[in-house]
Structure 1
Protein backbone atom coordinates (compact mmCIF):
# COMPACT_ATOMS: atom_id res chain seq x y z
CA UNK A 1 0.00 0.00 0.00
CA UNK A 2 0.95 3.66 -0.31
CA UNK A 3 0.73 6.40 2.30
CA UNK A 4 0.15 9.76 0.57
CA UNK A 5 1.46 12.94 2.23
CA UNK A 6 1.08 15.54 -0.49
CA UNK A 7 0.98 16.42 -4.16
CA UNK A 8 3.50 18.87 -5.65
CA UNK A 9 4.45 20.05 -9.16
CA UNK A 10 7.00 17.68 -10.72
CA UNK A 11 8.89 20.67 -12.14
CA UNK A 12 9.76 21.78 -8.59
CA UNK A 13 10.90 18.28 -7.58
CA UNK A 14 13.25 18.23 -10.59
CA UNK A 15 14.95 21.35 -9.23
CA UNK A 16 14.96 20.20 -5.59
CA UNK A 17 14.59 16.42 -5.14
CA UNK A 18 12.56 14.98 -2.27
CA UNK A 19 14.91 14.47 0.71
CA UNK A 20 15.69 10.98 1.97
CA UNK A 21 13.80 10.17 5.18
CA UNK A 22 11.83 7.36 6.78
CA UNK A 23 8.12 7.18 6.16
CA UNK A 24 4.98 6.46 8.16
CA UNK A 25 6.00 3.01 9.39
CA UNK A 26 9.53 4.09 10.31
CA UNK A 27 11.05 1.54 7.90
CA UNK A 28 10.19 2.41 4.29
CA UNK A 29 11.69 5.57 2.77
CA UNK A 30 9.58 8.44 1.49
CA UNK A 31 9.86 8.80 -2.29
CA UNK A 32 8.50 10.80 -5.24
CA UNK A 33 6.04 9.22 -7.65
CA UNK A 34 5.59 11.20 -10.87
CA UNK A 35 2.11 11.13 -12.40
CA UNK A 36 1.96 13.12 -15.65
CA UNK A 37 3.67 16.22 -14.28
CA UNK A 38 2.34 15.93 -10.72
CA UNK A 39 4.48 14.31 -8.05
CA UNK A 40 2.92 12.34 -5.23
CA UNK A 41 5.07 12.24 -2.08
CA UNK A 42 4.50 8.77 -0.69
CA UNK A 43 5.93 5.84 1.23
CA UNK A 44 5.19 2.14 1.12
CA UNK A 45 3.28 0.35 3.88
CA UNK A 46 2.99 -3.39 4.63
CA UNK A 47 -0.56 -4.50 3.80
CA UNK A 48 -1.15 -6.65 6.86
CA UNK A 49 0.10 -4.05 9.37
CA UNK A 50 -1.87 -1.14 7.90
CA UNK A 51 -5.18 -2.61 6.80
CA UNK A 52 -8.32 -0.54 7.41
CA UNK A 53 -9.33 -2.60 10.44
CA UNK A 54 -5.88 -2.41 12.03
CA UNK A 55 -5.71 1.36 11.50
CA UNK A 56 -9.18 1.89 12.93
CA UNK A 57 -8.24 -0.06 16.05
CA UNK A 58 -5.00 1.93 16.46
CA UNK A 59 -6.75 5.29 16.05
CA UNK A 60 -9.47 4.42 18.56
CA UNK A 61 -7.43 2.58 21.19
CA UNK A 62 -3.74 3.55 21.02
CA UNK A 63 -3.32 7.23 21.87
CA UNK A 64 0.49 7.04 21.98
CA UNK A 65 0.60 5.55 18.47
CA UNK A 66 -1.91 8.14 17.21
CA UNK A 67 0.06 11.10 18.63
CA UNK A 68 3.33 9.78 17.23
CA UNK A 69 1.94 9.17 13.73
CA UNK A 70 -0.04 12.42 13.61
CA UNK A 71 3.10 14.33 14.59
CA UNK A 72 5.10 12.52 11.90
CA UNK A 73 2.49 13.36 9.26
CA UNK A 74 2.31 17.04 10.27
CA UNK A 75 6.08 17.51 10.45
CA UNK A 76 6.60 15.79 7.09
CA UNK A 77 3.95 17.86 5.32
CA UNK A 78 5.24 21.05 6.97
CA UNK A 79 8.79 20.31 5.80
CA UNK A 80 7.60 19.63 2.26
CA UNK A 81 5.58 22.86 2.23
CA UNK A 82 8.77 24.77 2.92
CA UNK A 83 10.33 23.30 -0.24
CA UNK A 84 7.46 23.08 -2.72
CA UNK A 85 4.08 24.43 -3.78
CA UNK A 86 2.00 21.80 -2.04
CA UNK A 87 -1.45 20.25 -1.83
CA UNK A 88 -1.37 18.56 1.59
CA UNK A 89 -3.40 15.42 2.21
CA UNK A 90 -5.23 14.54 5.40
CA UNK A 91 -3.75 12.23 8.02
CA UNK A 92 -3.96 8.55 7.01
CA UNK A 93 -4.66 8.99 3.30
CA UNK A 94 -3.76 5.53 2.02
CA UNK A 95 -4.03 3.86 -1.41
CA UNK A 96 -4.00 0.13 -2.08
CA UNK A 97 -1.23 0.41 -4.69
CA UNK A 98 0.47 2.81 -7.13
CA UNK A 99 -2.01 2.14 -9.93
CA UNK A 100 -5.02 3.22 -7.81
CA UNK A 101 -3.26 6.47 -6.88
CA UNK A 102 -2.23 7.13 -10.48
CA UNK A 103 -5.79 6.55 -11.64
CA UNK A 104 -7.21 8.96 -9.06
CA UNK A 105 -4.70 11.73 -9.82
CA UNK A 106 -5.08 11.16 -13.56
CA UNK A 107 -8.81 11.89 -13.33
CA UNK A 108 -8.12 15.30 -11.77
CA UNK A 109 -5.00 16.47 -13.62
CA UNK A 110 -6.55 19.67 -14.92
CA UNK A 111 -8.07 20.80 -11.62
CA UNK A 112 -4.91 19.88 -9.71
CA UNK A 113 -2.73 21.94 -12.02
CA UNK A 114 -5.15 24.85 -11.66
CA UNK A 115 -4.90 24.45 -7.89
CA UNK A 116 -1.09 24.70 -8.02
CA UNK A 117 -1.43 27.95 -9.96
CA UNK A 118 -3.73 29.33 -7.24
CA UNK A 119 -1.45 28.12 -4.42
CA UNK A 120 1.84 29.34 -5.84
CA UNK A 121 3.39 32.30 -4.00
CA UNK A 122 0.92 32.20 -1.09
CA UNK A 123 1.07 31.19 2.57
CA UNK A 124 -1.51 30.03 5.12
CA UNK A 125 -1.48 31.85 8.47
CA UNK A 126 -3.52 31.23 11.60
CA UNK A 127 -4.64 33.94 14.03
CA UNK A 128 -6.01 33.20 17.49
CA UNK A 129 -7.38 35.99 19.69
CA UNK A 130 -7.68 35.62 23.45
CA UNK A 131 -9.49 37.87 25.89
CA UNK A 132 -9.31 38.43 29.64
CA UNK A 133 -13.02 39.01 30.31
CA UNK A 134 -12.40 40.63 33.69
CA UNK A 135 -10.06 43.25 32.24
CA UNK A 136 -12.36 43.87 29.29
CA UNK A 137 -15.31 44.39 31.62
CA UNK A 138 -13.38 47.14 33.43
CA UNK A 139 -12.91 49.05 30.16
CA UNK A 140 -16.52 48.85 28.94
CA UNK A 141 -18.89 51.61 30.00
CA UNK A 142 -22.39 50.67 28.90
CA UNK A 143 -25.01 53.32 29.86
CA UNK A 144 -27.80 50.81 30.49
CA UNK A 145 -25.60 48.77 32.84
CA UNK A 146 -24.40 51.79 34.81
CA UNK A 147 -27.96 53.03 35.19
CA UNK A 148 -29.23 49.62 36.28
CA UNK A 149 -26.55 49.23 38.95
CA UNK A 150 -27.59 52.58 40.44
CA UNK A 151 -31.21 51.41 40.56
CA UNK A 152 -30.22 48.20 42.34
CA UNK A 153 -28.45 50.13 45.09
CA UNK A 154 -31.79 51.69 46.05
CA UNK A 155 -33.57 48.34 46.43
CA UNK A 156 -34.05 46.38 49.68
CA UNK A 157 -31.19 43.99 50.47
CA UNK A 158 -33.24 40.88 49.69
CA UNK A 159 -34.16 42.04 46.19
CA UNK A 160 -30.64 43.29 45.53
CA UNK A 161 -29.30 39.72 45.61
CA UNK A 162 -31.57 38.50 42.81
CA UNK A 163 -31.23 41.67 40.75
CA UNK A 164 -27.43 41.43 40.97
CA UNK A 165 -27.60 37.89 39.55
CA UNK A 166 -29.62 39.20 36.62
CA UNK A 167 -27.14 42.02 36.13
CA UNK A 168 -24.21 39.62 36.05
CA UNK A 169 -25.95 37.70 33.25
CA UNK A 170 -26.59 40.96 31.38
CA UNK A 171 -22.97 42.03 31.77
CA UNK A 172 -21.74 38.68 30.48
CA UNK A 173 -24.00 39.05 27.44
CA UNK A 174 -22.69 42.57 26.80
CA UNK A 175 -19.10 41.31 27.11
CA UNK A 176 -19.71 38.49 24.61
CA UNK A 177 -21.36 40.87 22.16
CA UNK A 178 -18.45 43.29 22.45
CA UNK A 179 -15.89 40.53 21.96
CA UNK A 180 -17.66 39.27 18.84
CA UNK A 181 -18.01 42.78 17.44
CA UNK A 182 -14.33 43.60 17.91
CA UNK A 183 -13.15 40.23 16.57
CA UNK A 184 -15.35 40.51 13.49
CA UNK A 185 -14.01 44.01 12.77
CA UNK A 186 -10.46 42.76 13.17
CA UNK A 187 -11.17 39.75 10.93
CA UNK A 188 -12.43 42.05 8.17
CA UNK A 189 -9.25 44.14 8.39
CA UNK A 190 -7.05 41.05 8.13
CA UNK A 191 -9.05 39.74 5.18
CA UNK A 192 -8.07 42.87 3.25
CA UNK A 193 -4.48 41.52 3.18
CA UNK A 194 -5.54 38.01 2.11
CA UNK A 195 -6.98 36.35 -0.95
CA UNK A 196 -9.13 34.20 1.36
CA UNK A 197 -9.99 34.11 5.05
CA UNK A 198 -12.20 31.80 7.09
CA UNK A 199 -13.30 31.44 10.71
CA UNK A 200 -12.73 28.23 12.67
CA UNK A 201 -14.17 26.87 15.89
CA UNK A 202 -12.68 28.29 19.10
CA UNK A 203 -10.65 25.97 21.34
CA UNK A 204 -11.44 25.50 25.02
CA UNK A 205 -9.05 26.22 27.87
CA UNK A 206 -8.44 22.47 28.26
CA UNK A 207 -6.82 22.52 24.80
CA UNK A 208 -5.04 25.89 24.87
CA UNK A 209 -3.77 25.61 28.45
CA UNK A 210 -4.29 29.36 28.83
CA UNK A 211 -6.09 31.29 31.55
CA UNK A 212 -7.82 33.56 29.01
CA UNK A 213 -10.74 32.42 26.90
CA UNK A 214 -10.17 32.07 23.15
CA UNK A 215 -12.40 34.66 21.51
CA UNK A 216 -11.57 34.06 17.83
CA UNK A 217 -9.81 31.49 15.64
CA UNK A 218 -9.29 32.16 11.94
CA UNK A 219 -7.05 31.29 8.98
CA UNK A 220 -5.92 33.42 6.05
CA UNK A 221 -4.33 32.75 2.69
CA UNK A 222 -1.83 35.49 1.92
CA UNK A 223 0.38 36.48 -0.98
CA UNK A 224 3.92 36.21 0.36
CA UNK A 225 4.62 39.87 -0.38
CA UNK A 226 1.75 40.87 1.94
CA UNK A 227 2.76 38.80 4.98
CA UNK A 228 4.87 41.52 6.63
CA UNK A 229 2.02 44.04 6.48
CA UNK A 230 -0.37 41.39 7.80
CA UNK A 231 1.88 40.68 10.80
CA UNK A 232 2.42 44.40 11.44
CA UNK A 233 -1.35 44.93 11.55
CA UNK A 234 -1.63 42.24 14.24
CA UNK A 235 1.23 43.72 16.30
CA UNK A 236 -0.29 47.19 16.16
CA UNK A 237 -3.71 45.89 17.20
CA UNK A 238 -2.25 43.97 20.13
CA UNK A 239 -0.37 47.04 21.31
CA UNK A 240 -3.57 49.11 21.07
CA UNK A 241 -5.86 46.59 22.80
CA UNK A 242 -3.48 44.97 25.28
CA UNK A 243 -4.60 47.07 28.26
CA UNK A 244 -8.20 46.04 27.60
CA UNK A 245 -7.27 42.36 28.04
CA UNK A 246 -6.67 41.28 24.43
CA UNK A 247 -3.87 38.96 23.26
CA UNK A 248 -3.15 38.04 19.62
CA UNK A 249 -1.31 34.94 18.42
CA UNK A 250 -0.31 34.74 14.75
CA UNK A 251 1.44 31.59 13.49
CA UNK A 252 2.63 30.53 10.06
CA UNK A 253 3.34 29.78 7.39
CA UNK A 254 1.48 26.48 7.46
CA UNK A 255 0.71 23.99 4.68
CA UNK A 256 -2.48 25.20 2.93
CA UNK A 257 -4.79 22.69 4.60
CA UNK A 258 -7.74 25.09 4.49
CA UNK A 259 -7.23 26.42 0.97
CA UNK A 260 -6.57 23.32 -1.14
CA UNK A 261 -9.51 21.07 -1.90
CA UNK A 262 -8.09 17.73 -3.12
CA UNK A 263 -9.02 15.03 -0.59
Structure 2
Protein backbone atom coordinates (compact mmCIF):
# COMPACT_ATOMS: atom_id res chain seq x y z
CA UNK A 1 0.00 0.00 0.00
CA UNK A 2 1.42 3.39 -1.03
CA UNK A 3 1.15 6.17 1.51
CA UNK A 4 1.01 9.94 1.22
CA UNK A 5 2.47 12.11 3.99
CA UNK A 6 0.16 14.64 5.62
CA UNK A 7 2.07 17.53 7.20
CA UNK A 8 0.64 19.40 10.21
CA UNK A 9 3.62 21.60 10.98
CA UNK A 10 7.32 21.99 11.70
CA UNK A 11 8.88 22.43 15.15
CA UNK A 12 12.45 22.85 16.42
CA UNK A 13 14.02 19.46 17.09
CA UNK A 14 15.34 20.65 20.48
CA UNK A 15 11.79 21.38 21.62
CA UNK A 16 10.52 18.06 20.25
CA UNK A 17 13.23 16.23 22.20
CA UNK A 18 12.45 18.06 25.45
CA UNK A 19 8.67 17.69 25.27
CA UNK A 20 7.04 14.29 24.81
CA UNK A 21 4.86 13.94 21.73
CA UNK A 22 1.13 13.70 22.57
CA UNK A 23 -0.99 10.71 21.60
CA UNK A 24 -3.71 11.61 19.08
CA UNK A 25 -5.50 10.35 15.99
CA UNK A 26 -4.23 11.24 12.54
CA UNK A 27 -6.05 12.77 9.58
CA UNK A 28 -7.60 9.44 8.58
CA UNK A 29 -8.96 8.85 12.09
CA UNK A 30 -7.07 5.58 12.41
CA UNK A 31 -3.31 5.98 12.33
CA UNK A 32 -1.43 8.17 14.81
CA UNK A 33 0.73 11.17 13.88
CA UNK A 34 4.49 10.82 14.31
CA UNK A 35 7.64 12.87 13.84
CA UNK A 36 10.32 12.96 11.15
CA UNK A 37 13.60 14.53 12.27
CA UNK A 38 15.56 16.47 9.65
CA UNK A 39 18.55 17.72 11.69
CA UNK A 40 17.32 20.74 13.70
CA UNK A 41 13.81 20.65 12.20
CA UNK A 42 11.15 18.11 13.12
CA UNK A 43 8.11 17.53 10.93
CA UNK A 44 4.86 16.35 12.50
CA UNK A 45 3.03 14.12 10.05
CA UNK A 46 0.56 11.30 9.57
CA UNK A 47 0.21 8.74 6.80
CA UNK A 48 -2.68 8.54 4.32
CA UNK A 49 -3.63 5.71 2.01
CA UNK A 50 -2.93 7.11 -1.45
CA UNK A 51 -5.98 5.31 -2.90
CA UNK A 52 -8.38 6.83 -0.38
CA UNK A 53 -6.80 10.30 -0.38
CA UNK A 54 -5.88 10.94 -3.99
CA UNK A 55 -6.06 14.50 -5.29
CA UNK A 56 -9.29 13.73 -7.14
CA UNK A 57 -10.98 12.20 -4.09
CA UNK A 58 -9.97 15.11 -1.85
CA UNK A 59 -11.26 17.65 -4.37
CA UNK A 60 -14.57 15.80 -4.65
CA UNK A 61 -14.92 15.67 -0.88
CA UNK A 62 -14.21 19.37 -0.51
CA UNK A 63 -16.63 20.32 -3.27
CA UNK A 64 -19.45 17.92 -2.41
CA UNK A 65 -19.20 16.69 1.18
CA UNK A 66 -19.51 19.59 3.62
CA UNK A 67 -19.67 17.27 6.63
CA UNK A 68 -16.35 15.66 5.66
CA UNK A 69 -14.76 19.04 5.04
CA UNK A 70 -15.87 20.43 8.41
CA UNK A 71 -14.71 17.33 10.24
CA UNK A 72 -11.28 17.25 8.61
CA UNK A 73 -10.72 21.01 8.81
CA UNK A 74 -11.63 20.90 12.51
CA UNK A 75 -9.24 17.99 13.05
CA UNK A 76 -6.38 19.86 11.37
CA UNK A 77 -7.07 23.08 13.27
CA UNK A 78 -7.41 21.39 16.67
CA UNK A 79 -4.28 19.30 16.11
CA UNK A 80 -2.20 22.36 15.24
CA UNK A 81 -3.63 24.30 18.21
CA UNK A 82 -2.70 21.47 20.61
CA UNK A 83 0.80 21.25 19.14
CA UNK A 84 1.21 25.03 19.44
CA UNK A 85 0.65 24.70 23.19
CA UNK A 86 3.73 22.48 23.40
CA UNK A 87 6.10 23.73 20.70
CA UNK A 88 7.10 26.70 18.59
CA UNK A 89 5.36 25.60 15.41
CA UNK A 90 5.31 26.66 11.79
CA UNK A 91 1.75 25.54 11.04
CA UNK A 92 0.74 24.18 7.66
CA UNK A 93 -2.40 25.00 5.75
CA UNK A 94 -5.23 22.45 5.65
CA UNK A 95 -4.44 19.48 3.39
CA UNK A 96 -0.71 19.96 2.98
CA UNK A 97 0.16 16.56 1.52
CA UNK A 98 3.33 15.07 0.06
CA UNK A 99 3.57 12.09 -2.23
CA UNK A 100 6.13 10.52 0.08
CA UNK A 101 8.46 11.29 2.98
CA UNK A 102 11.43 11.79 0.66
CA UNK A 103 9.69 14.70 -1.10
CA UNK A 104 8.88 16.28 2.25
CA UNK A 105 12.45 15.92 3.54
CA UNK A 106 13.81 17.41 0.32
CA UNK A 107 11.46 20.41 0.63
CA UNK A 108 12.48 21.02 4.24
CA UNK A 109 16.19 20.80 3.48
CA UNK A 110 15.86 23.26 0.62
CA UNK A 111 14.26 25.88 2.90
CA UNK A 112 16.06 25.03 6.12
CA UNK A 113 17.51 28.51 6.72
CA UNK A 114 14.16 30.20 6.23
CA UNK A 115 12.43 27.76 8.58
CA UNK A 116 15.11 28.35 11.24
CA UNK A 117 14.61 32.12 10.90
CA UNK A 118 10.85 31.64 11.28
CA UNK A 119 11.34 29.60 14.47
CA UNK A 120 13.42 32.46 15.87
CA UNK A 121 10.78 35.05 14.88
CA UNK A 122 7.93 33.06 16.45
CA UNK A 123 9.64 31.93 19.65
CA UNK A 124 8.09 33.62 22.69
CA UNK A 125 5.41 35.28 20.56
CA UNK A 126 1.69 34.64 19.98
CA UNK A 127 -0.77 35.34 17.19
CA UNK A 128 -3.92 37.25 18.18
CA UNK A 129 -6.92 38.29 16.13
CA UNK A 130 -9.00 41.44 16.55
CA UNK A 131 -12.35 41.88 14.84
CA UNK A 132 -13.99 45.30 15.12
CA UNK A 133 -17.75 45.67 14.61
CA UNK A 134 -20.05 48.67 14.48
CA UNK A 135 -23.78 49.15 14.98
CA UNK A 136 -24.37 51.58 12.12
CA UNK A 137 -27.52 53.15 13.51
CA UNK A 138 -25.72 54.33 16.66
CA UNK A 139 -22.69 55.73 14.88
CA UNK A 140 -24.81 57.25 12.11
CA UNK A 141 -26.58 59.48 14.63
CA UNK A 142 -23.21 60.73 15.89
CA UNK A 143 -21.92 61.32 12.34
CA UNK A 144 -25.04 63.22 11.29
CA UNK A 145 -24.67 65.56 14.29
CA UNK A 146 -20.90 65.90 14.71
CA UNK A 147 -19.26 65.30 11.33
CA UNK A 148 -17.69 68.55 9.98
CA UNK A 149 -18.54 67.67 6.35
CA UNK A 150 -22.19 67.18 7.25
CA UNK A 151 -22.25 70.34 9.34
CA UNK A 152 -20.76 72.35 6.48
CA UNK A 153 -23.30 70.91 4.04
CA UNK A 154 -26.20 71.77 6.37
CA UNK A 155 -24.88 75.33 6.72
CA UNK A 156 -24.60 75.59 2.95
CA UNK A 157 -28.17 74.35 2.49
CA UNK A 158 -29.54 76.76 5.09
CA UNK A 159 -28.38 79.67 2.92
CA UNK A 160 -30.24 78.45 -0.17
CA UNK A 161 -33.74 79.48 -1.26
CA UNK A 162 -36.50 77.37 0.32
CA UNK A 163 -37.21 75.47 -2.89
CA UNK A 164 -33.57 74.47 -3.31
CA UNK A 165 -33.31 73.51 0.37
CA UNK A 166 -36.01 70.88 -0.03
CA UNK A 167 -34.15 69.03 -2.80
CA UNK A 168 -30.71 69.39 -1.22
CA UNK A 169 -31.92 68.05 2.14
CA UNK A 170 -33.17 64.92 0.38
CA UNK A 171 -29.62 64.29 -0.84
CA UNK A 172 -28.00 64.70 2.54
CA UNK A 173 -28.83 61.13 3.66
CA UNK A 174 -26.51 59.79 0.96
CA UNK A 175 -23.77 62.10 2.16
CA UNK A 176 -24.28 60.89 5.74
CA UNK A 177 -24.02 57.25 4.60
CA UNK A 178 -20.82 58.06 2.75
CA UNK A 179 -19.31 59.85 5.75
CA UNK A 180 -20.39 56.96 7.99
CA UNK A 181 -18.33 54.49 5.95
CA UNK A 182 -15.35 56.85 5.96
CA UNK A 183 -15.65 57.24 9.73
CA UNK A 184 -15.74 53.48 10.31
CA UNK A 185 -12.64 52.97 8.21
CA UNK A 186 -10.83 55.96 9.74
CA UNK A 187 -11.45 54.85 13.33
CA UNK A 188 -10.61 51.19 12.66
CA UNK A 189 -7.41 52.07 10.82
CA UNK A 190 -6.41 54.44 13.61
CA UNK A 191 -6.89 51.69 16.21
CA UNK A 192 -4.86 49.29 14.09
CA UNK A 193 -1.95 51.73 13.97
CA UNK A 194 -2.18 52.49 17.69
CA UNK A 195 -2.05 48.78 18.51
CA UNK A 196 1.24 48.49 16.63
CA UNK A 197 2.88 50.00 19.71
CA UNK A 198 2.07 46.74 21.52
CA UNK A 199 2.86 44.23 18.75
CA UNK A 200 5.75 42.97 16.66
CA UNK A 201 3.73 42.87 13.46
CA UNK A 202 0.14 43.53 12.41
CA UNK A 203 -1.66 42.55 9.22
CA UNK A 204 -5.12 43.24 7.85
CA UNK A 205 -7.47 40.51 6.62
CA UNK A 206 -10.66 40.73 4.59
CA UNK A 207 -13.81 41.63 6.53
CA UNK A 208 -16.52 38.97 6.91
CA UNK A 209 -20.16 39.63 6.09
CA UNK A 210 -23.06 39.07 8.47
CA UNK A 211 -23.85 35.65 6.96
CA UNK A 212 -20.47 34.44 8.22
CA UNK A 213 -20.30 36.28 11.56
CA UNK A 214 -23.96 35.75 12.53
CA UNK A 215 -23.92 39.19 14.16
CA UNK A 216 -26.23 42.15 13.61
CA UNK A 217 -23.32 44.62 13.54
CA UNK A 218 -21.17 45.08 10.45
CA UNK A 219 -17.52 44.06 10.67
CA UNK A 220 -15.33 47.09 10.03
CA UNK A 221 -11.85 45.61 10.61
CA UNK A 222 -10.22 42.19 10.78
CA UNK A 223 -6.65 42.35 12.01
CA UNK A 224 -4.06 39.75 13.03
CA UNK A 225 -1.14 40.57 15.30
CA UNK A 226 2.06 38.89 16.40
CA UNK A 227 2.45 39.79 20.07
CA UNK A 228 5.27 38.94 22.46
CA UNK A 229 4.07 36.97 25.47
CA UNK A 230 5.04 39.82 27.81
CA UNK A 231 2.89 42.30 25.85
CA UNK A 232 -0.27 40.21 25.54
CA UNK A 233 -1.79 41.61 28.72
CA UNK A 234 -1.18 45.29 27.79
CA UNK A 235 -2.44 44.56 24.26
CA UNK A 236 -5.71 43.10 25.55
CA UNK A 237 -6.03 45.85 28.17
CA UNK A 238 -5.80 48.49 25.45
CA UNK A 239 -8.53 46.77 23.42
CA UNK A 240 -10.75 46.63 26.51
CA UNK A 241 -10.19 50.35 27.00
CA UNK A 242 -11.29 51.04 23.42
CA UNK A 243 -14.45 49.03 24.01
CA UNK A 244 -15.28 50.80 27.27
CA UNK A 245 -14.73 54.24 25.74
CA UNK A 246 -16.55 53.61 22.45
CA UNK A 247 -19.46 51.37 23.41
CA UNK A 248 -21.93 54.26 23.38
CA UNK A 249 -21.15 54.96 19.72
CA UNK A 250 -21.94 51.42 18.61
CA UNK A 251 -18.44 49.97 18.49
CA UNK A 252 -17.79 46.34 19.50
CA UNK A 253 -14.43 44.56 19.83
CA UNK A 254 -13.69 40.83 19.69
CA UNK A 255 -10.13 39.75 20.52
CA UNK A 256 -9.24 36.06 20.30
CA UNK A 257 -6.12 33.98 20.73
CA UNK A 258 -3.52 32.81 21.07
CA UNK A 259 -3.65 31.04 17.69
CA UNK A 260 -1.02 29.11 15.75
CA UNK A 261 0.93 31.71 13.78
CA UNK A 262 -0.58 30.96 10.36
CA UNK A 263 -0.31 34.60 9.28
CA UNK A 264 3.29 35.13 10.34
CA UNK A 265 4.98 31.99 9.06
CA UNK A 266 5.34 30.32 5.72
CA UNK A 267 7.01 27.30 4.23
CA UNK A 268 8.05 27.60 0.58
CA UNK A 269 8.15 23.84 0.15
CA UNK A 270 4.49 23.32 1.09
CA UNK A 271 2.76 20.48 -0.73
CA UNK A 272 -0.83 20.25 -1.88
CA UNK A 273 -3.11 23.03 -0.58
CA UNK A 274 -6.30 21.50 -1.88
CA UNK A 275 -6.09 23.42 -5.16
CA UNK A 276 -2.60 22.26 -6.12
CA UNK A 277 -1.28 18.93 -7.22
CA UNK A 278 0.11 16.56 -4.65
CA UNK A 279 3.92 16.72 -4.87
Q: TM-score range by the shorter chain?
A: over 0.9
Residue 27 of structure 1: aligned partner: 30
Asked if the contact 1:3–1:92 (Cα under 8 Å) also holds between the matched residues in 2, the reply is: yes
1:62 matches 2:31? no
Asked if the contact 1:139–1:244 (Cα under 8 Å) also holds between the matched residues in 2, the reply is: yes
Distance 1:154 1:134, change over 3 A: farther
Alignment of 1:49-88 (within 5 A): 49-88=52-91
TM-score norm. by structure 2 comes to 0.89
Aligned length: 261
Residue 233 of structure 2: aligned partner: 228
- Partner residue of 2:130 out of 112, 127, 130: 127
1:142 matches 2:147? yes
CA distance in 2, matches of 1:155, 1:207: 46
Residue 182 of structure 1: aligned partner: 187
Distance 1:23 1:164, change over 3 A: farther
- Partner residue of 1:209 out of 211, 214, 217: 214
Q: What per-residue deviation string (whole Å, max 9, x for no partner) do you get for residues 137-188 of structure 1?
A: 22231244245457479745x983x544421110011111111111111101
Residue 16 of structure 1: aligned partner: 19
1:166 matches 2:185? no
Residue 101 of structure 1: aligned partner: 104
1:117 matches 2:120? yes
1:245 matches 2:255? no
Asked if the contact 1:4–1:43 (Cα under 8 Å) also holds between the matched residues in 2, the reply is: yes
Query: Residue 83 of structure 1: SS of its match in structure 2?
Result: coil
Query: Residue 265 of structure 2: SS of its match in structure 1?
Result: coil
Q: Tell me, which stretches of 5 or more residues in structure 1 are unaligned?
A: none
Asked if the contact 1:20–1:31 (Cα under 8 Å) also holds between the matched residues in 2, the reply is: no
Distance 1:2 1:144, change over 3 A: closer
1:256 matches 2:261? yes
- Give the drift of 1:100: 1.0
CA distance in 2, matches of 1:32, 1:8: 10
Q: CA RMSD in A?
A: 1.7
